[in-house]
Amino acid sequence: MDILSVRRLAGAELDKIEQGIRPSGFYHQKAVRLKSACMAIESNGGLETVFSLPMHKLYSLLINIKGIGRETADSIILYGAGKPTFVVDNYTWRILSRAYGRENEYDYQSLKKELEGNTTRSARLYMEMHAQFVELGKRYCTKSNPNCVDCPLSRICAYRKNTSSKSR
């Protein structure tokens, strides 16, 4: 099954796509959305043309494809097109909202704007930062039972300070 290109996926039968992605779970829904996304990209001139669009136009195109939300659109723009946009995922949100003690103040756009406004706009930097957030979130700042004692942010983390004072 040699359909690993946008053009081939756009023209492939759904059952062939489903076979290829079956282990991922929800393969019926994902196959429909994957094919739809590839068809949208092809109808806009293909991957190279789409990735060469200005970032705001690329974002608009992607966000209007069913199944692509803000995080996925930003991931495609950053990792696929290599353009500097920060990906705010659950790890990023959890770590920064805990560290700054502002868990209910951030939404996707405000956190993204703050990160981009306080860093150099660089796709490479954003990829590295995102990777570090993911690693920190997996190792230390987990959803339940965070390992605050060993966390590299423990000295500055409001969540850590708050939980330490409660356990005394």
Tell me: the pLDDT tens digits for 7-41?
999 999 999 999 999 998 899 999 999 999 999 99
Locate the DSSP E strands across the chain: none
Mean pLDDT of the chain: 92
pLDDT tens, 89-128?
A: 999 999 998 998 877 777 888 889 989 999 999 999 999 9
Per DSSP, 23 falls in state: G
CA atoms lying within 13 Å on the CB side of residue 46: 4
Q: 16: which 2 tokens?
A: 């062939």
> What is the spatial distance between Cα 39 and Cα 69, in angstroms, rounded to a whole number?
17
Chain region(s) in the chain for CATH 1.10.1670.10 = 90-166
> In the CATH hierarchy, which fold is given to the domain comprising 90-166?
Endonuclease Iii, domain 2 (1.10.1670)
pTM for the full model? 0.87
> What is the spatial distance between Cα 21 and Cα 126, in angstroms, rounded to a whole number?
28
